[in-house]
Amino acid sequence: MRWISWDSLALAAICLADTVVTTALLATGRFAEANPLLAYYLRWGLWAMVGVKLLTFVVPIVVAEWYRRRNPGLVAKVVRVTIALYIALYATATAAVNLRIVPL
């Protein structure tokens, strides 16, 4: 059995891409963090926010991979649903902020 599943690798790649894009945009000084939790940690500095953002997906993926050995079917479904929800939420939030539907 692999150490980490393709599903978890895909989720980690999506989350990491989001982190890199967010960090690059925030570093320009022309963008704001729309996530209230991460915006709070951004006040402590960009790297504090990046650390918290990494923890919010690395820890759950490690737990999912640990539990996958006990119930692989359930974990595969949960990770795939998480991927779909993450992409849907990211697209919706990005559209809402950029279309000024939701004020920052």
Domain boundaries, the chain: 6-96
Region 54-64: what's the mean pLDDT? 96
Token pair listed for 72 = 């692989």
Quick one: pLDDT band at residue 93, thresholds 50, 70, 90? confident
Quick one: pLDDT band at residue 1, thresholds 50, 70, 90? low
More confident residue, 79 or 34: 79
Q: Looking at the predicted structure, is the pLDDT value of residue 104 above 60?
A: no
13 close to 79: Cβ distance less than 8 angstroms: no
The torsion angle over the Cα atoms of residues 73, 78, 75 and 3, rounded to 10 degrees, is 120
pTM of the model: 0.85
81 close to 60: Cβ distance less than 8 angstroms: no
CA distance 10 to 16: 10
Determine the pLDDT at residue 95.
80
Closest CA to 54 of 102, 2, 16: 16
The contacts of residue 30 (CB under 8 Å, 6+ apart) are none
Determine the pLDDT at residue 101.
59
